[in-house]
Chain A
């Protein structure tokens, strides 16, 4: 299914184009929506890491253009949609570079060292604590052990190797596990901070 960010890109899409695009991505409607999101996330990375200042807009522009062209190429294009999106994205990128507005914005201050006000961080910490406490015991202990050590650099790498070894998994698998826990926590945190369903939000392991 399409989320809110995807919905914004639909402004320039006609309903017919969107239907045609989804049908092209996958025969199953739900799978097509999932694929749409995956391609959009990929396009955002492509533009972001090429140094574009407006990666999300460019990604949506790419999708709009592909959808608009579908009536022309949809029946003739053979293979994965991905490469076609890639080709269109390259054109969008060149157009972006030609536009004067393509210059990246000035760099912000070091966000890592940015000191937030107590008012900003307290609700976040409270929600985070609540979400962490809702995690299953194993997930909670794993995520705290993963991020708990204070040292960085080689020490951090060594500590995480030990953690992976202790849990009987490879280092990459450990990263995947902690990633899943992070995703759950972030979702929980977002719900908590928005104040929606303050007492009923859930966190999956």
Chain B
């Protein structure tokens, strides 16, 4: 025989906590049919075997017997069912007791005339549930309130942080703008300085980084010991001649450089006068070193008047040596 549970049964508790398999609607109906003699032979055999092997199964039959005793006592059992149930009563003291006890309970309950709506007997059980529910609700409310406060505080903190970040962002933008302006100014200054430097370089050393210069006074003869001498090396690119002048008033100057007693090696026009100090003025002549060989040279200077007429000025002498 199978020990399986009939369809519709589920686990429930009986006898103070023991979990048993209890018949629900189908199982209960089966027991009812069994007691009232409405089952097949096979069903009867299965039920009887389980009654002898499963104590909990027997407990469920007892519940059905109580239900039938209740129905019988109320007069709910009619016809064949009533007759069948009654047929057991002479032979079962337990069923008789069930019926009598149920009758007594009904009778007693009827005496308790106080209105007692079936579910309205509040009971400790229900009251306990309500109390537990109230505690749970109270706890939930407290937790909710605490959560709200925390959320509010968190929200305020976040707002403050956002405000601070916005201020910092604004300050950073402002600083970036200032730095951009400073950079622009610096770049502008650097550009100007570079221009000035370029001008100065043009003015001072138009020929390159390593000019050799000579300051020449007009009229000093080549034979004198004071003849200015430029010692040029193979690395020298240019020689600058500082032709000191005592007169001014010319619009520009023209100069030619020639080997003494030889050819002109260089000539230049539109030469300007530079104020080298408070007392002295000079005309600068920059010569490529390549055109100068060792020897004595003569520089002829002419002043160009505002009308464009050149006028002869005193000549200059210098000597070139090679290292």
Give the interface of A toward B (CB within 8 A): 35, 38-39, 41-46, 48-55, 80, 82-83, 85-86, 89, 104-105, 107-108, 110-113, 121, 124-125, 128-129, 132, 136-138, 141-145, 147-150, 152-153, 156, 159-160, 162-163, 165-168, 170, 172-173, 175-176, 179-180, 182, 185-186, 189
User: Given contacts A149-B118, A168-B126, is CB(A176)–CB(B49) below 8 Å?
Assistant: no
- Name B44-75 residues within 8 Å CB distance of A: 44, 48-49, 51-53, 55, 58, 61-63, 66-67, 70-75
List B contacts of A112 (CB < 8 A).
72-75, 99, 103
Chain B contact residues: helix, strand, loop or mixed:
helix
Shortest 6 CB-CB contacts between residues of A and residues of B: A166-B119, A82-B53, A138-B124, A141-B121, A82-B52, A148-B109
List B contacts of A42 (CB < 8 A).
48, 51-52, 58
In the complex, the answer to whether A172 meets B12 with C-beta atoms within 8 Å is: yes
Query: Nearest-CB distance from A189 to chain B (Å)?
Result: 7
List A contacts of B87 (CB < 8 A).
51, 104, 107
In the complex, the answer to whether A144 meets B112 with C-beta atoms within 8 Å is: yes
List B contacts of A168 (CB < 8 A).
125-126, 129
Query: Nearest-CB distance from A105 to chain B (Å)?
Result: 5
In the complex, the answer to whether A152 meets B71 with C-beta atoms within 8 Å is: yes
In the complex, the answer to whether B74 meets A156 with C-beta atoms within 8 Å is: yes
Give the interface of B toward A (CB within 8 A): 1, 12-15, 22-24, 28, 34-35, 37, 44, 48-49, 51-53, 55, 58, 61-63, 66-67, 70-76, 82-83, 86-92, 94, 96-97, 99-110, 112, 116, 118-126, 129
Give A55 to B90 CA distance when docked, in angstroms. 11
List B contacts of A156 (CB < 8 A).
74, 76
Give A44 to B96 CA distance when docked, in angstroms. 14
CB-defined A-B contacts under 8 Å, sample of 17: A49-B88, A83-B49, A112-B75, A121-B104, A136-B124, A142-B123, A144-B112, A145-B116, A147-B109, A149-B118, A165-B119, A172-B12, A172-B24, A175-B66, A180-B14, A182-B66, A186-B97
List B contacts of A186 (CB < 8 A).
97, 101
List A contacts of B62 (CB < 8 A).
179
How many residue-residue contacts, CB under 8 A, span A and B? 179
User: Given contacts A45-B61, A112-B73, A167-B123, is CB(A54)–CB(B91) below 8 Å?
Assistant: yes
A-B contact sample (9 more), CB < 8 A, given A80-B53, A156-B74, A163-B121: A50-B44, A104-B91, A125-B107, A145-B116, A150-B110, A156-B76, A162-B119, A166-B118, A185-B105
In the complex, the answer to whether B108 meets A128 with C-beta atoms within 8 Å is: yes
Identify which of A108, A125, A129, A176 contacts B90 (C-beta below 8 A): A108
User: Given contacts A167-B126, A186-B101, is CB(A142)–CB(B121) below 8 Å?
Assistant: yes
Closest residue of chain A to B61 (Cβ to Cβ) is: A45
User: Given contacts A104-B91, A142-B121, is CB(A179)–CB(B63) below 8 Å?
Assistant: yes
User: Given contacts A82-B49, A124-B104, A147-B105, is CB(A141)–CB(B58) below 8 Å?
Assistant: no
Give A142 to B124 CA distance when docked, in angstroms. 10
Give A179 to B112 CA distance when docked, in angstroms. 21
In the complex, the answer to whether A55 meets B92 with C-beta atoms within 8 Å is: yes
Closest residue of chain A to B118 (Cβ to Cβ) is: A159
In the complex, the answer to whether B90 meets A128 with C-beta atoms within 8 Å is: no
Query: Nearest-CB distance from B1 to chain A (Å)?
Result: 7
List B contacts of A152 (CB < 8 A).
71, 74-76
Chain A contact residues: helix, strand, loop or mixed:
helix
User: Given contacts A54-B91, A82-B49, A148-B116, is CB(A110)–CB(B63) below 8 Å?
Assistant: no
Query: Nearest-CB distance from A188 to chain B (Å)?
Result: 11
List A contacts of B109 (CB < 8 A).
144, 147-148
Give A191 to B76 CA distance when docked, in angstroms. 30
In the complex, the answer to whether A153 meets B125 with C-beta atoms within 8 Å is: no
Query: Nearest-CB distance from B207 to chain A (Å)?
Result: 112
User: Given contacts A160-B118, A162-B118, A185-B101, is CB(A176)–CB(B14) below 8 Å?
Assistant: yes
Give A161 to B35 CA distance when docked, in angstroms. 23
Give A136 to B73 CA distance when docked, in angstroms. 26
In the complex, the answer to whether A52 meets B91 with C-beta atoms within 8 Å is: yes
In the complex, the answer to whether B67 meets A43 with C-beta atoms within 8 Å is: no
Query: Nearest-CB distance from A82 to chain B (Å)?
Result: 3
Give A105 to B90 CA distance when docked, in angstroms. 8
In the complex, the answer to whether B96 meets A111 with C-beta atoms within 8 Å is: yes
List B contacts of A185 (CB < 8 A).
101, 105
Give A85 to B49 CA distance when docked, in angstroms. 9
